[in-house]
Amino acid sequence: MKEINVIEKYYDELAARYDEKAKSPELNGQYLNEAKKIFQRYNLQKGSILDVGCGTGLLSDLLEGDFEYTGIDVSARMLQYASQRGYKPIHQTIEGALPEIENQSYDFVVSLGALLFVEDIQASLKYIKRIALKAIVLSLDCVTDELIQASSMTIYDHSKVEILNALEDYLILGWTKTSQNISVNTRMIYRTPI
Q: What does the pLDDT look like over 16-45, one tens digit per residue?
A: 999 998 888 777 788 999 999 999 999 999
pTM score above 0.75: yes
Compute the CA torsion angle 67, 113, 122, 44 (nearest 10 deg): 30
Higher-confidence position of 182 and 48? 48
Q: State the fold for domain 2-191.
A: Rossmann fold (3.40.50)
Mean pLDDT, residues 36-59: 97
Do you know the residue count of the chain?
A: 194
Short-list 154, 86, 71, CA closest to 120: 154
Helix/strand/coil percent split, the chain, to 5: 40, 30, 30
DSSP letter (8 states) at residue 16: G
Q: What is the mean pLDDT of the chain?
A: 93
Q: What does the pLDDT look like over 58-95, one tens digit per residue?
A: 999 999 999 999 999 999 999 999 999 999 999 999 99
Mean pLDDT, residues 125-145: 96
Residue 67's beta-bridge partner residues? Answer: 47
Among 55-64, 108-117, 167-176, the minimum mean pLDDT is found in 167-176
pLDDT at 1 over 60: no
Question: Where exactly are the structural domains of the chain?
Answer: 2-191
